[in-house]
Amino acid sequence: MKFRKYLRGSGRVLAFVFIASVIWLLFDIAALRISINDVNQDLKEREMVLKQGIRKDNIDDVLKYPLQKVNVDKNDLSKNRDRFERKVNKVYRKLPKARPESQAPLKQDKHLTPMLMAGNSFVEQNEEINQSKFNLIMNSLVKGQVISIPEKINKTKTVNNKVGNTTTKINKIKAAVNGQTKANLDVKAHLLTKAPPAVQEMHSSALKENSVKKVHHINDGTVVMSHNEAHADAGLQKNLSNELLKPAESDKLKNIIDSSKQKAQDPAEEALQVLHSTSVLVRRSGGHHKVMALDVTDRPRDSRAVGQFGQPARVPRDKELESRRRWSEGFFNVYLSEQIPIDRAIPDTRPQICSENLVHDDLPSTSVIFCFVDEVWSTLLRSVHSVLNRSPPHLLKEIILVDDCSTKDYLKEQLDVYMSQFSKVRIIRLKERQGLIRARMAGAAAATGEVLTFLDSHIECNIGWLEPLLERVYLDRKKVVCPVIEVISDKDMSYMLVDNFQRGIFRWPLVFGWSALPEEYIRKNQIKDSDPIRCPVMAGGLFSIDKRYFYELGAYDPGLDVWGGENMEISFKIWMCGGEIEIIPCSRVGHIFRGDNPYKFPKDRVKTVERNLARVAEVWLDEYKELFYGHGYHHLLDKSVTNIGNLTEQIELRKKLKCKSFKWYLENVYPDLHAPLVKAEGLIFNVGTRKCLVFQNDILFFDKCDLTNKSQHFSYTWLRMLRQNTSCLVPQEKQIIMEPCDNTKPHFRWMHKSGKVLTEHVMIEGHSRPICLEAGVKADGIFLKDCDSVSTFQKWQFTHYNAE
């Protein structure tokens, strides 16, 4: 009773409030614990990242969306394949989908503008490529169009001459930069002041206070030189004086480091001097050293910065609209990219052994070529900084930025001024849009390094990326090498791993893709995850090639327009003319794969790419070009509609280089490609008469089937011709005759086993009503009749079908 009294009136309210508070408190404690756990977890992760530069074993914990480790569920291979394909699609180079064979050809563009053909720009084999040859090539390439190549940058002069008052200009840019990103404000402002190449400026006062060496060794060998901690000597000593340096050389190295320490005005400069002198020293030694793991920063990294360590960045609620609005500037999250430090750290995703690998001391130098058109400011800068910061300076001859006639204002003066602080960066501006392929050639023609390294303008080079590439070229100058292309998410800009053992391959009709080496093969051959992987084709965006070899190969076909197909062209050319293509797992570069291009195709995108591919097929595929056309590109054979341009020079080049056949390529480089020369072959059996078709003494008739009789052998080609030797079955009024085959003539084409209906029939293509091939009831002739789905006299079978 007493208790009930308490629950009456205001007492009841009080009790309720009390119980609610207790529950609330309990919830609160639980939430607090969860968030404490979160924070701890977060801290732990960060610590781990900081300490280890991210260990490979833990990568899954650190990266939000790891792409690595597709578990092979042996019981469910098909499911796994599905998953794999989905993932692989992400890193496919976008190509317009070829239309299914059954579909009518697309409307053709009647206003194909004549393509710009450059002159013959290849260099005689073994010919020395000197500057005048470069100029010649470049001139022939751009035919009278002016390309301005800023002189080696004398900053004051260039800036003053070009933009008048430097300070005003820089301030203007600072303001623009400020407007774009708050997080990077001080970093960018800092970068606008003078800085030696590759390592950003460091305040000497700060350094005096910091004369104690403070080099972080991340990941057991990575040298992070930072703004206030710039004495690199300890790191470099550790890095360079490995067991292979003889004691005398180690002493010499130490002397150089000591003397440069005394002389140095600017410790960053000092770091460079050390590197340079070291390289000279080690070059003379003719020895090896461990791959350098440089990661130069202009100041200590802010571990809380957006996207730091390659972690996913998030758009705040109130910025979602802005981020969505700005997506189309680059077809990735442009808003987030601007929040991320220009020199952010990314996880060192190399296989463990890579940091221990030895490379030669006298590797060739490289020119890094970035072509771009309307690239987003922040990604272009991040690309350039990743090269400057993570490449051994003595190996980086220069960075050439080729502006393929961008329309954005910020890519003009603002870019000139920004880049003028880096003496290694040169900008080439094309006066007319040339497309990626010719832009690369303009970059190559201006390059002075021994090796050309082409990169897309929205990448981040990872630690130790360069030396493993150059090492392979050093070992064999005909090796053309690609880094592993990792994925920078277009949505949250996180850095993601890709699967190991991926090869660049293609499927018909020349569609690029990735395919994992079979596990069985890896096991049998004891392939390590750091071993170079030979690839039938390269993805195309990122690779290094010996410059002289590039020109010996005739560079790219300059008749290729804008984008697409050039990776196929150079790949076939390399393999068939004596070279090799490899992916080097110890070299890793992140790339933003995006769903669309932020630039326009002067002509229709699909038509541009298919025209490029047709050029490649005509020059390199020999008789296999039928497989290309036969997989949805029949319409390209109509020369009155598609003008693929003049191929004489390319064909001549192939002869001159004495390149091998495509058959050789298939047998030796890509034997796992299914490439039957015809769709079906053998005897043509008529179901109704139970007889086979014969072509003998210019007459078509039926006879008892006989595999040994050559006159009964026909093939059904990829271009849908019914062929015997060089003669093809052709309708003539209601009759059928044999005529010399002509791939360009649509009325020579027959439909068989294509589509969903009348699959056993042989139907005329492109007729208004279905007309089919029919055998006379007494096997006394072959005619054209209206198709009848049940008539067995209209049903035909080949002995072998090579493809559906």
Q: Which residues bind ligand UDP (CB under 6 A)?
A: 93-94, 371-373, 375, 404, 435-436, 439, 456-457, 541, 562-563, 597, 599
Q: Minimum distance from CB of 311 to ligand UDP (Å)?
A: 23
Cα 561 to chain centroid distance, Å, stands at: 18
- Structural contact between residues 482 and 472, judged by C-beta atoms closer than 8 angstroms: no
Match 């130790």 to its residue by tokens: 464
CA dist list (Å): 569 to 238, 556, 654, 666: 43, 7, 12, 15
Two structure tokens written together for 289: 């050293």
Q: Which is nearer to ligand UDP, 334 or 373 (CB)?
A: 373
Q: Which is nearer to Mn ion, 380 or 680 (CB)?
A: 380
Q: Minimum distance from CB of 682 to Mn ion (Å)?
A: 46
- CB neighbour burial string for 50-84, b if at least 16 within 10 angstroms, e if fewer: bebbbbbeebeebbeeebbeeeeeeeeeeeeeeeb
Q: Minimum distance from CB of 297 to Mn ion (Å)?
A: 25
Strands 396-403, 366-372: pairing is parallel
Span interacting with Mn ion, options 2-10, 227-235, 456-464, 784-792, rule CB under 5 A: 456-464
Span interacting with Mn ion, options 4-12, 78-86, 453-461, 513-521, rule CB under 5 A: 453-461
Q: Which is nearer to ligand UDP, 221 or 565 (CB)?
A: 565
Footprint of Mn ion on 353-392 (CB under 5 A): none
Q: Is 443 helix (H, G, I), strand (E, B) or coil?
A: helix
Span interacting with Mn ion, options 404-412, 452-460, 499-507, 640-648, rule CB under 5 A: 452-460
Q: Phi and psi for 456 in degrees, rounded to 5?
A: -70, 165
Site for Mn ion contains 456 (CB under 5 A): yes
721 touches, from ligand UDP, Mn ion, none (C-beta below 5 to 8 Å by class): none
Q: Minimum distance from CB of 121 to Mn ion (Å)?
A: 25
Span interacting with Mn ion, options 55-63, 338-346, 449-457, 481-489, rule CB under 5 A: 449-457
Question: What DSSP character marks residue 125?
Answer: T
- CB neighbour burial string for 103-124, b if at least 16 within 10 angstroms, e if fewer: eebeeeeeebeebbebeebbbe
Q: Which is nearer to ligand UDP, 219 or 453 (CB)?
A: 453
Q: Which is nearer to Mn ion, 464 or 590 (CB)?
A: 590
What residues contact 192, with CB distance under 8 A and at least 6 apart?
A: 170, 173, 174, 177, 417, 418, 421
What residues contact 755, with CB distance under 8 A and at least 6 apart?
A: 102
Q: Minimum distance from CB of 562 to Mn ion (Å)?
A: 13
What residues contact 179, with CB distance under 8 A and at least 6 apart?
A: none
CA angle 601, 604, 606 (to 5 degrees): 105
435 touches, from Mn ion, ligand UDP, none (C-beta below 5 to 8 Å by class): ligand UDP
Match 């309210």 to its residue by tokens: 13
Q: Minimum distance from CB of 117 to ligand UDP (Å)?
A: 17
Q: Minimum distance from CB of 346 to ligand UDP (Å)?
A: 18
Q: Minimum distance from CB of 220 to ligand UDP (Å)?
A: 33
372 touches, from Mn ion, ligand UDP, none (C-beta below 5 to 8 Å by class): ligand UDP
- Structural contact between residues 187 and 299, judged by C-beta atoms closer than 8 angstroms: yes
375 touches, from ligand UDP, Mn ion, none (C-beta below 5 to 8 Å by class): ligand UDP
Q: Which is nearer to ligand UDP, 457 or 717 (CB)?
A: 457
Q: Which is nearer to Mn ion, 380 or 773 (CB)?
A: 380
- Structural contact between residues 760 and 795, judged by C-beta atoms closer than 8 angstroms: yes
Q: Which residues pair with 680 in a beta bridge?
A: 716, 801
Q: Minimum distance from CB of 486 to Mn ion (Å)?
A: 13
DSSP element (H, E) containing 534 = strand 533-534
348 touches, from Mn ion, ligand UDP, none (C-beta below 5 to 8 Å by class): none
Site for Mn ion contains 450 (CB under 5 A): no
Q: Which is nearer to ligand UDP, 291 or 535 (CB)?
A: 535
Q: Minimum distance from CB of 421 to ligand UDP (Å)?
A: 22
Q: Minimum distance from CB of 599 to ligand UDP (Å)?
A: 6
Q: Which is nearer to ligand UDP, 298 or 456 (CB)?
A: 456
Q: Minimum distance from CB of 565 to ligand UDP (Å)?
A: 11
350 touches, from ligand UDP, Mn ion, none (C-beta below 5 to 8 Å by class): none
Q: Is 245 helix (H, G, I), strand (E, B) or coil?
A: coil
607 touches, from Mn ion, ligand UDP, none (C-beta below 5 to 8 Å by class): none
229 touches, from Mn ion, ligand UDP, none (C-beta below 5 to 8 Å by class): none
Helices 131-142 and 436-446: crossing angle in degrees, nearest 10, is 160
Q: Which is nearer to ligand UDP, 122 or 599 (CB)?
A: 599
Q: How many residues belong to the chain?
A: 804
CA-CA distance, 129 to 152, in Å (whole number)?
A: 20
Site for Mn ion contains 552 (CB under 5 A): no
Secondary structure of 545-584 as H, E, C letters: EEHHHHHHCCCCCCCCCECCCHHHHHHHHHHHCCCEEEEE
What residues contact 37, with CB distance under 8 A and at least 6 apart?
A: none
Span interacting with Mn ion, options 329-337, 448-456, 683-691, 739-747, rule CB under 5 A: 448-456
Helices 166-180 and 155-163: crossing angle in degrees, nearest 10, is 90
Q: Is 313 helix (H, G, I), strand (E, B) or coil?
A: coil
What residues contact 416, with CB distance under 8 A and at least 6 apart?
A: 150, 158, 162, 163, 427
Q: Which is nearer to ligand UDP, 457 or 794 (CB)?
A: 457
Match 């008048």 to its residue by tokens: 164
Q: Which is nearer to Mn ion, 599 or 748 (CB)?
A: 599
Say what the alpha-carbon torsion angle 179, 180, 181, 186 is, to the nearest 10 degrees: -60
Q: Which is nearer to ligand UDP, 372 or 750 (CB)?
A: 372
Residues contacting Mn ion: total by CB under 5 A: 1
Q: Which is nearer to ligand UDP, 313 or 538 (CB)?
A: 538
373 touches, from ligand UDP, Mn ion, none (C-beta below 5 to 8 Å by class): ligand UDP
Q: Minimum distance from CB of 796 to ligand UDP (Å)?
A: 43
What residues contact 304, with CB distance under 8 A and at least 6 apart?
A: none
457 touches, from Mn ion, ligand UDP, none (C-beta below 5 to 8 Å by class): ligand UDP
Q: Minimum distance from CB of 539 to ligand UDP (Å)?
A: 8
Which residue is nearest to Mn ion, using beta carbons? 456
Q: Which is nearer to ligand UDP, 435 or 483 (CB)?
A: 435
Q: Which is nearer to Mn ion, 594 or 785 (CB)?
A: 594
CA angle 185, 186, 191 (to 5 degrees): 100
End-to-end CA distance of the chain: 88
Q: Minimum distance from CB of 459 to Mn ion (Å)?
A: 8
- Structural contact between residues 134 and 122, judged by C-beta atoms closer than 8 angstroms: no
Q: Phi and psi for 447 in degrees, rounded to 5?
A: -75, 145
Q: Minimum distance from CB of 511 to ligand UDP (Å)?
A: 13
439 touches, from ligand UDP, Mn ion, none (C-beta below 5 to 8 Å by class): ligand UDP
Q: Minimum distance from CB of 487 to ligand UDP (Å)?
A: 11
Q: Which is nearer to ligand UDP, 363 or 401 (CB)?
A: 401
Span interacting with Mn ion, options 164-172, 201-209, 269-277, 455-463, rule CB under 5 A: 455-463
Strands (E), 619-712: 678-686, 691-696, 699-703
- Which stretches of the chain bind Mn ion, using CB under 5 A? 456
